[in-house]
Chain A
Amino acid sequence: MSDNAARLRGKDLLGIADLTPSEISLILDTAEAMKEVSARPIKKVPALRGKTVINLFYEPSTRTRTSFEVAEKRLSADTLNIAIATSSVVKGETLIDTALNLEAMSPDLIVMRHASSGSCHLLARTCRAGIVNAGDGMHEHPTQGLLDAFTIRERKGRLQGLKVAIVGDMLHSRVFRSNVYLLAKMGAEVWACGPPTLMPAGIEQMGVHATTSVEEAVKDADAVMMLRIQLERMEGGFFPSLREYFQVFGMTPERVRLAKPDAIIMHPGPMNRGVEIASEVADGPASVILDQVANGVAVRMAVLYLLAGGGDDETAA
């Protein structure tokens, strides 16, 4: 039955920019079914039995790598983790050579995080295996965008017409880019706020309202998303001090009160408490920060399942 089957075009998930609204809905709907698997006594289904997934992480990551690994294991895939500190990259091997060598072991999917924007596209052109972007430089982090949208939709029942405020470092943030593309495609109204030095050039062309006033961004918002101040990227002197940043942009209980009474507070992690978000807000009743982590597994299961392909549209009775 053709109405019972659906697909993502293409073998890779490189960015939200490439997805259509119906593909995004397909991933979010599939994630809803996947979420139930994690609530079972036996948290495992045989869908990806015999498939090999390589997690290739060129940048440190705890949450995302663990989340992908849990998702792969719940789908019964065989997983391999390649941590760059112990690999031949430290001996000078290029990305393409590493990829070709991995490809020779015929993996079905490669999940990659890399410090260079566009590295996943390069890998996708070189490899027959499907590539899942787990964050490439300052470009995109599509599964984070999807899990954020899933979390909002779960709480609000929809994305269309919601006001979402995103506050923080937009310049260095791949999470920002993926979220903006996704929310704009699904009809949400996005307000972006942060110091002008941390706003990407041409931000208005991304279809967002840009402002330097947190109060304006947060006012009547349905969801408030904080972005991490990336302390490791702050040598440039983008703002005077962390203390001052918190004073001007930090999410305090007083600022949260400007949003809708049922607004949710989000953060992709890892949090800098007292820099972009006050502890009372991070741990408060409106916070869905740990739901985001739980939903990350479901969304990644959905992406891996949909990309692993297979199954024609025949339904055996």
Chain B
Amino acid sequence: MPILMDSERISRSLTRIAHEIVERNRGVGDLALVGVRTRGVPIARRLAASLREITGVEVATGALDITLYRDDLMKTAVGPQPIVRRTEIPFSIDDRHIVLVDDVLYTGRTIRAALDALIDFGRPKTIQLVVLVDRGHRELPIKADYVGKNVPTSRRETIHVRLAEIDGRDDVTLDQAEGERA
């Protein structure tokens, strides 16, 4: 399982993305970060810390669970339901620039669901997308505004993102899919 990004590489990428966010938005006024559960949330918090270092401003940060908006939720008659977790957006998103944060961009279906979920909370001025890894194979017309690393993959491979806050260590690996998954 080749390591695509180690701890240092992840941290450099996020610092670079934080600078890009400041540059594109000409500062961080009216900006808020929303991480997509599970691993988008710690990435969003790390970006908020970088933005604080760069600008001295504390950027509001939330967590979005998109389970109830998935397009594959009711595909089969009986089966295990994905676990629903809490969405925590303790600020108004109206007229703000929302930076949506996720770990891996693949088919684009998670982001489609996240956009629907976000719009139920209000009417942001813009929504921009940060992903740590873009692995291609889009099924919907969605593209990221800020990318940590582009990784060409085959559909049979899987990308594993591990983050210290959840997994105890930081790295991104490329693995051969076990069986018919992913």
Q: A41-B121, A46-B68 are in contact. Are A316 and B110 (CB under 8 A)?
A: yes
Are the C-beta atoms of A311 and B70 separated by less than 8 Å?
Answer: yes
Q: Does A104 contact B (CB under 8 A)?
A: no
CA gap between A262 and B181 in the complex, in Å: 50
Q: Does A37 contact B (CB under 8 A)?
A: yes
Are the C-beta atoms of A310 and B83 separated by less than 8 Å?
Answer: no
B40 → chain A closest CB, angstroms: 11
Q: Does A90 contact B (CB under 8 A)?
A: no
CA gap between A94 and B78 in the complex, in Å: 29
Chain B residues with a Cβ under 8 A of chain A: 65, 67-70, 72-88, 103-107, 109-110, 116-117, 120-122, 135, 159, 181-182
B contact residues around A33 at 8 Å (CB): 65, 67, 84-87
A-B CB contact pairs (8 Å), 16 listed: A5-B82, A33-B67, A33-B86, A36-B86, A40-B120, A44-B120, A50-B74, A308-B81, A309-B76, A310-B76, A311-B80, A311-B81, A312-B76, A316-B70, A316-B109, A317-B159
Are the C-beta atoms of B81 and A7 separated by less than 8 Å?
Answer: yes
Chain A: CB-nearest residue to B161: A317
Q: Does A313 contact B (CB under 8 A)?
A: yes
* Selected contact of B82 from candidates A29, A37, A51, A313, CB within 8 Å: A313
Q: A45-B69, A317-B106 are in contact. Are A312 and B80 (CB under 8 A)?
A: yes
Are the C-beta atoms of B72 and A42 separated by less than 8 Å?
Answer: no
Chain B: CB-nearest residue to A7: B80
Are the C-beta atoms of A30 and B84 separated by less than 8 Å?
Answer: yes
Are the C-beta atoms of A5 and B106 separated by less than 8 Å?
Answer: no
* Selected contact of B181 from candidates A5, A47, A75, A314, CB within 8 Å: A314
Are the C-beta atoms of A310 and B110 separated by less than 8 Å?
Answer: no
Interface size on A, residues (CB 8 A): 38
Q: Does A11 contact B (CB under 8 A)?
A: yes
- Interface pairs A-B: 10 shortest CB-CB: A310-B74, A317-B106, A7-B80, A45-B68, A5-B80, A47-B68, A33-B84, A309-B78, A42-B120, A317-B104
B70 → chain A closest CB, angstroms: 7
B contact residues around A78 at 8 Å (CB): none
CA gap between A312 and B80 in the complex, in Å: 6
Q: Does A4 contact B (CB under 8 A)?
A: yes
CA gap between A44 and B65 in the complex, in Å: 14
CA gap between A306 and B159 in the complex, in Å: 29
* Selected contact of B72 from candidates A32, A309, A312, CB within 8 Å: A312
Chain A residues with a Cβ under 8 A of chain B: 4-7, 11, 26, 29-30, 32-34, 36-37, 40-42, 44-51, 75, 302, 305-306, 308-317
CA gap between A47 and B104 in the complex, in Å: 23
B contact residues around A313 at 8 Å (CB): 79-80, 82
Chain A: CB-nearest residue to B102: A317
Are the C-beta atoms of A317 and B110 separated by less than 8 Å?
Answer: yes
A273 → chain B closest CB, angstroms: 36
Are the C-beta atoms of A11 and B82 separated by less than 8 Å?
Answer: no
A contact residues around B65 at 8 Å (CB): 33
B contact residues around A310 at 8 Å (CB): 73-79, 81
CA gap between A223 and B75 in the complex, in Å: 42
Are the C-beta atoms of B83 and A4 separated by less than 8 Å?
Answer: yes
* Selected contact of B83 from candidates A29, A42, A49, A50, CB within 8 Å: A29
B95 → chain A closest CB, angstroms: 14
CA gap between A34 and B116 in the complex, in Å: 17
Are the C-beta atoms of B72 and A314 separated by less than 8 Å?
Answer: yes
Are the C-beta atoms of A46 and B77 separated by less than 8 Å?
Answer: no
B contact residues around A309 at 8 Å (CB): 74, 76-79, 81
Chain A: CB-nearest residue to B71: A316
Task: Known pairs A7-B79, A305-B81, A317-B135; list 20 more (Cβ under 8 Å).
Answer: A4-B83, A6-B81, A11-B78, A37-B68, A41-B120, A46-B68, A47-B67, A49-B74, A308-B74, A310-B79, A311-B70, A311-B73, A311-B79, A311-B82, A312-B76, A313-B82, A316-B70, A316-B107, A316-B109, A317-B103
CA gap between A222 and B159 in the complex, in Å: 48
A contact residues around B181 at 8 Å (CB): 314
B64 → chain A closest CB, angstroms: 11
A contact residues around B85 at 8 Å (CB): 33
Chain A: CB-nearest residue to B106: A317
CA gap between A11 and B78 in the complex, in Å: 8
Chain B: CB-nearest residue to A2: B80
B contact residues around A311 at 8 Å (CB): 70, 72-76, 79-82
A contact residues around B159 at 8 Å (CB): 317
Chain B: CB-nearest residue to A46: B69
* Selected contact of A317 from candidates B76, B79, B86, B105, CB within 8 Å: B105
